[in-house]
Amino acid sequence: MIRKMNDKDKSKYIELSLDFYQSEAVIEHVEMPISNLEQTFDLIISDSPYLEGYVYTYYNKVVAYCLLSFTYSNELGGLMVLLEELYVDPKYQGLGIGKKFLNYIEKVYKDSAIAIRLEIDDENGRAKKLYLKQGFEEREYSQMVKIIDEE
């Protein structure tokens, strides 16, 4: 079952998110500060318009999560849902949980958003195969980031 995160999900979210940042889904494995994850979680449960968090429960146990953020796309002419993170505990991969999340997101936002966008490490072949099978298309954009106030 997919549901929005609530305050009882904090420790499991942090555990899964720490696993995510050490997985093949992330290009550069980073030691994610717990404070970043706590800040993200607090923003989610504060009903922020910028970020939503969902969990997937399997026999009442949280085994996966996804984070969504939102932006407007002038190019596409509407609201864009950004799939920031989607992670399934490896013990539960292969059960269709990723596909269920993608279908759920599309169903929830079909009347208010024009597209769902995500980033993927090319070496994460299993996830890439899932996204392509679900109708996502590759774009030729290069991503650039500048950390503000970092010298």
Q: For each successive 10 residues of the chain (151 residues), what is the average pLDDT?
A: 98 96 78 94 96 98 99 96 97 97 98 96 89 94 82 61
Distances from the Cα of 17 to the Cα of 12, 23, 46, angstroms: 8, 10, 19
What pLDDT is attached to residue 140?
Answer: 86
Distance CA(105)–CA(116), nearest Å, equals 8
Enter the pTM of the model: 0.91
Domains of the chain: 2-133 (3.40.630.30)
Beta strands at 51-58 and 78-88: parallel, antiparallel or unpaired: unpaired
72 within 8 A of 82, measured Cβ to Cβ = no
Largest CA distance in the chain: 48
What pLDDT is attached to residue 122?
Answer: 82
What pLDDT is attached to residue 14?
Answer: 98
